[in-house]
């Protein structure tokens, strides 16, 4: 078995992980980055490439943006983190362009108000874009910048467990998906940048296949605290068929253009002015109608954009979206009439982003010494709802902060010669291959995902969620009897078994937090508590492991 040593270990090959790794290396640290996919092929790449850049129009500024973040987050944002987000968001452009990326500019070559537009929920135009590739171009830049930097990159390597020494995170057990080799990385500091857990809701997610909540589980198992895990953003418009494309993103409320409406299976209009509402509001209205039995045969509702064709602005928006390639997927899945907005088409909310995550301070530090988090893996910035185009900026703002802080801390830390528990952890991972049991890992993935979608999805109630907790426990027991062939190279079932463990932990964290929050706030919709309850619940839910048990603390909002 190979043992690697470094000062800063970054887990995750998207915008957050690459930024943190490059920043730490620039600060002089010896850095290893491990990525479960080839570097830069995850959620950052598949994003639309839209980014918040406040301050372009003169009415906009740090405080205006901060107020938008807090309003959208329904006042449970970590205010210190939200302020940093607002203050530094405009720096993110520089970080990304330094990596090689380029945002759209006006004819003079400047990022000006001409190339900046309104994104849903923002009070000022501050979203910039980078067509035609969108996030794909960002993925290209991440790879180029990582190649330029003095970091060691290990691709297609999954982390199965973090190891502690005297209460401090000191290393990680890794599995190489290509070769089947197990390795140990000893690190003075570790940054989790594994993204969210959208895959808990597969197929109802637009996230990449590797987004299985690994970071949440890794952090939880070493007793780090997580915050507001119930806040899962469902973006309103995902596809409902064909099977391999269910859940894929087609748009947010602004897609509806001025005249777009939502209809139920009887053709009745259930929502007007869709384009003026935020993601949570539209997803909620859709979930309620579907619960009432208004869903189509594919389980969705009908997005009727036809009224736009009789409006100049509507026609202009159709053309703009068509030219941007945003509607290609609609044509592929639903055909030409849908593509041309000449007939209504099926849509269903899809899991997009986790506002919750690992609880960190303003340096990206968790409560466990040596452990940091950044990007979607960290929680608190967005409170109960995230505004569109903020998450890309978040990666580059907080990636720099965590990378810088971890590199500095590493200078004062000694690596232990031997991390306690490492032999046992490696042996346990080695036993996975060749296990004989009753289930394949992928079957249990699907069982868990069905439970999460049906019982802890968009519209929630206590009875169903209690049942979900029982179901999750049963799946956990079943996961102890899995069948995995012995092959070493690209044994997908080993990877899926590792992911299954992380998903079970993440699913439990989401569900426990969702049961506790007895109110409706932001993305968290409780059918049994339909009102917002500021007196009892303008608070954060903190989850952590203590003596092997999941514990929950409800606390006042930070800042």
Partner 1 sequence: MEQEVSIEILRYDPQKDKEPNWQKYYIPVVKKNTVLGALQYIYENIDATLAFRYGCRFNRCGLCAVEINGRPRMACNTYLKDGMRVSPLTKLPLIKDLVIERNNIFNYLANHELYLSQNDETKSLIIKESEQGARLRSCMECLACLSACPQFFYGDQNFAGPYIFVKLAQLYFDPRNTNDRRKQAYLLGITRCQSCQTRCYCPNGIRIYEDAILSLA
Minimum Å gap between C-beta 46 and partner 1 is: 4
Comparing CA positions, the residue from 559, 556, 530 lying closest to residue 541 is: 556
In the chain, what are the helix, strand and coil shares in percent, each to the nearest 5? 40, 20, 40
Residue (130 or 301) nearer to partner 1, CB: 130
Minimum Å gap between C-beta 492 and partner 1 is: 6
Find the part of the chain contacting partner 1 (CB under 8 A) among 41-49, 341-349, 359-367, 542-550: 41-49
Q: Are 380 and 228 in contact (CB under 8 A)?
A: yes
Find the part of the chain contacting partner 1 (CB under 8 A) among 159-167, 237-245, 301-309, 535-543: 237-245
Q: Does 148 bind partner 1 (CB under 8 A)?
A: yes
Residue (252 or 464) nearer to partner 1, CB: 252
Q: Are 177 and 183 in contact (CB under 8 A)?
A: no
In whole angstroms, what is the distance from residue 62 CA to residue 54 CA? Answer: 7
Q: Which of 109, 267, 293, 548 binds partner 1 (CB under 8 A)?
A: 109
Q: Does 450 bind partner 1 (CB under 8 A)?
A: no
| Strand partners for 550 | 545
In whole angstroms, what is the distance from residue 474 CA to residue 466 CA? Answer: 13
Comparing CA positions, the residue from 344, 273, 334 lying closest to residue 305 is: 344
Residue (487 or 518) nearer to partner 1, CB: 487
The residue to which tokens 């990596």 are assigned: 99
Q: Does 332 bind partner 1 (CB under 8 A)?
A: yes
First to last CA, the chain: 46
Minimum Å gap between C-beta 202 and partner 1 is: 10
Minimum Å gap between C-beta 26 and partner 1 is: 9
Q: Does 440 bind partner 1 (CB under 8 A)?
A: yes
**HEC states along 278-306?**
CHHHHHHHHHHHHHCCCCCCCCCEEEECH
**Which parts of 44-103 interact with partner 1 (CB under 8 A)?**
45-46, 91, 93-94, 97-98, 100, 102
Minimum Å gap between C-beta 532 and partner 1 is: 35
Q: Does 208 bind partner 1 (CB under 8 A)?
A: yes
Cα 526 to chain center, whole Å? 22
In whole angstroms, what is the distance from residue 415 CA to residue 367 CA? Answer: 20
Minimum Å gap between C-beta 304 and partner 1 is: 21
Comparing CA positions, the residue from 327, 290, 289 lying closest to residue 308 is: 327
In DSSP notation, 343-356 reads S-EEEEEEEEEES-
Find the part of the chain contacting partner 1 (CB under 8 A) among 55-63, 238-246, 470-478, 516-524: 238-246
Q: Does 140 bind partner 1 (CB under 8 A)?
A: yes
Q: Which of 57, 64, 413, 442 binds partner 1 (CB under 8 A)?
A: 442
Grouping H, G, I as helix, E, B as strand and the rest as coil, residue 113 is: helix
Size of the site for partner 1 (CB under 8 A): 63
Comparing CA positions, the residue from 381, 352, 356 lying closest to residue 541 is: 356
Q: Does 209 bind partner 1 (CB under 8 A)?
A: yes
The residue to which tokens 């452009």 are assigned: 93
Contacting residues toward partner 1, per CB under 8 A: 37-39, 41-42, 45-46, 91, 93-94, 97-98, 100, 102, 105, 108-110, 130-137, 139-140, 143-148, 153, 155-156, 178, 208-210, 241-245, 248, 328-329, 332-333, 440, 442-443, 446, 485, 487-493
């Amino acid at each position: 078995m190979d043992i690697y040593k470094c000062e800063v270990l970054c887990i995750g090959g998207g915008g957050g992980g690459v930024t943190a790794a490059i920043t730490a290396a620039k600060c002089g640290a010896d850095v290893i980055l491990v990525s479960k996919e080839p570097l830069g092929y995850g959620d950052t790449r598949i994003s639309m490439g839209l980014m918040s850049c406040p301050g372009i129009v003169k009415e906009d500024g740090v405080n205006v943006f901060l107020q938008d973040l807090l309003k959208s987050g329904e006042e449970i944002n970590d205010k210190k983190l939200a302020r940093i987000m607002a203050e530094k968001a405009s720096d993110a452009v520089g970080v990304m362009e330094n990596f090689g990326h380029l945002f759209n500019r006006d004819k003079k070559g400047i990022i000006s108000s001409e190339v900046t537009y309104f994104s849903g929920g923002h009070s000022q135009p501050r979203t910039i874009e980078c067509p035609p590739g969108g996030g794909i171009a960002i993925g290209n830049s991440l790879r180029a910048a990582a190649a330029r930097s003095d970091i060691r990159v290990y691709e297609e390597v999954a982390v199965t467990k973090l190891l502690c020494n005297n209460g401090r995170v000191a290393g990680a057990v890794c599995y190489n998906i290509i070769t089947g080799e197990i390795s140990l990385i000893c690190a003075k500091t570790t940054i989790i940048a594994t993204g969210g857990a959208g895959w808990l809701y597969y197929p109802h997610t637009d996230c990449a296949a590797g987004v299985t909540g690994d970071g949440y589980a890794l952090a939880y198992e070493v007793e780090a605290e997580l915050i507001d895990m119930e806040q899962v953003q469902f973006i309103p418009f995902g596809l409902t068929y064909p099977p391999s494309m269910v859940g894929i993103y087609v748009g947010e409320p602004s897609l509806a253009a001025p005249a777009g409406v939502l209809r139920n299976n009887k053709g009745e209009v259930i929502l007007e002015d869709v384009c003026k509402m935020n993601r949570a509001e539209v997803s909620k209205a859709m979930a309620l109608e579907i619960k009432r039995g208004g869903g189509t045969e594919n389980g969705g509702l009908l997005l009727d954009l036809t009224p736009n064709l009789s409006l100049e602005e509507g026609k202009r928006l159709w053309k703009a979206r068509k030219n941007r390639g945003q509607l290609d997927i609609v044509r592929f899945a639903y055909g030409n009439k849908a593509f041309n907005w000449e007939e209504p088409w099926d849509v269903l909310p899809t899991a997009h982003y986790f506002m919750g995550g690992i609880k960190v301070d303003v340096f990206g530090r968790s409560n466990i010494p040596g452990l940091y988090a950044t990007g979607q893996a960290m929680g608190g910035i967005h409170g109960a709802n995230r505004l569109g185009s903020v998450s890309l900026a978040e990666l580059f703002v907080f990636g720099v902060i965590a990378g810088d802080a971890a590199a500095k801390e590493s200078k004062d830390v000694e690596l232990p010669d031997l991390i306690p528990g490492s032999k046992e952890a490696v042996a346990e991972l080695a036993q996975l291959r060749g296990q004989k049991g009753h289930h394949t890992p992928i079957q249990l993935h699907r069982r868990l995902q069905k439970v999460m979608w049906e019982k802890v999805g968009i519209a929630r109630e206590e009875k169903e969620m209690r049942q979900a907790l029982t179901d999750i426990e049963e799946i956990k027991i079943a996961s102890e009897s899995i069948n995995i062939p012995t092959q070493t190279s690209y044994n997908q079932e080993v990877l899926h078994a590792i992911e299954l463990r992380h998903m079970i932990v993440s699913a439990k964290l989401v569900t426990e937090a969702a049961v506790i929050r007895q109110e409706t706030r932001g993305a968290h919709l409780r059918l049994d508590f339909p009102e917002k309850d500021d007196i009892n619940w303008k608070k954060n839910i903190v989850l952590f492991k203590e003596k092997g048990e999941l514990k929950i603390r409800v606390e006042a909002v930070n800042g």
